[in-house]
Amino acid sequence: MSKDLGEEVSKLEGLKEKEFTIFGIKMSMMTISAAVAGIGSVIGMLYGGFVMYQKVEEVANLDVSAFEQRMEVIETKVTSVDENVYAVKNDLKTDIRRIESIVDDIERTVKQDLRDFNKDVKDIEKNFADKLQKALDNPLAN
C-alpha cells in the first residue's frame, strides 16, 4: 500500500516533456497550463465587464424625476422655514421695542414719584422746622 514518493515525483517530472493531443493539437503540459491561465483571465475579465455593465445600467435607470420632486419638496420646506424665521424675528423686534417703551414709562413714573416724595418730605421738614423755630422762639406760647 505504501508507495515510494520518489517514484511518484519522477513520474510527474516526466509530464513536462510529454506531449498530449487535445482537439487535434499537440500540446505540452506547459502549453496547457498557459492556455488554462489565459482562458481563466479572459473569463474573469468578461465577468468583471458584465458586473460593471449591470452597475452602469442601474445608475442609468435611476428615476431622476423622483429626486427632482423630492428636491422641490425640500426647497418648499426650506422657504417656509425661512419665512417663519423672518416672521419670528420681526415679532421679537416688536416685543423688544414694546418692552423698552414700558420700561421707559416706568422709569419716568418712578423718577416723578421720587421727585414728588422728595418734595413732600422737604415740605414736611420745612413745616416742622418752622414750628420748631416758633416753639423755640417763644417757649411760653404753647
For residues 28 and 16, is the Cβ–Cβ distance under 8 A? yes
Query: Could you tell me if 53 and 91 lie in one domain?
Result: no
Q: What pLDDT was estimated at residue 1?
A: 46
DSSP 61: T
Instruction: Please indicate, yes or no, whether residues 57 and 112 belong to a single structural domain of this protein.
Output: no
Average pLDDT over residues 119-137: 88
Residue 73, pLDDT above cutoff 90 = yes
CA within 13 Å, CB half, 110: 6
Tell me the three state secondary structure of residue 11.
Answer: helix
- Beta bridge pairs of residue 21: 26
The more confident residue out of 83 and 2 is 83
Q: Which of 62, 89, 104 is the last residue in one of the domains?
A: 62
Based on the structure, what is the number of domains in the chain?
A: 2
pTM given for the model: 0.42
Please check whether residues 37 and 99 belong to one and the same domain.
no
Beta strands in 23-73 (DSSP E): 25-28
Q: Does one domain contain both 23 and 88? A: no
Domain match, 42 and 70 both: no
8-30 pLDDT, tens digit each: 656 666 666 677 777 887 888 78
What is the residue-averaged pLDDT of the chain? 85
Looking at the structure, tell me whether residues 87 and 110 fall in a common domain. yes
The pLDDT value recorded for residue 141 is: 63
Who wins on pLDDT, 68 or 7?
68
pLDDT at 12: 64
Residue span of the structural domain in which 86 resides: 63-142
Set of cell numbers at residue 84: 417663519
Residues of the chain with pLDDT > 70, as a percent, come to 85
Comparison of pLDDT for 65 and 3, the residue scoring more = 65
pLDDT at 132: 86
What is the model's pLDDT at position 15? 62
Identify whether residues 82 and 141 lie together within a single domain. yes
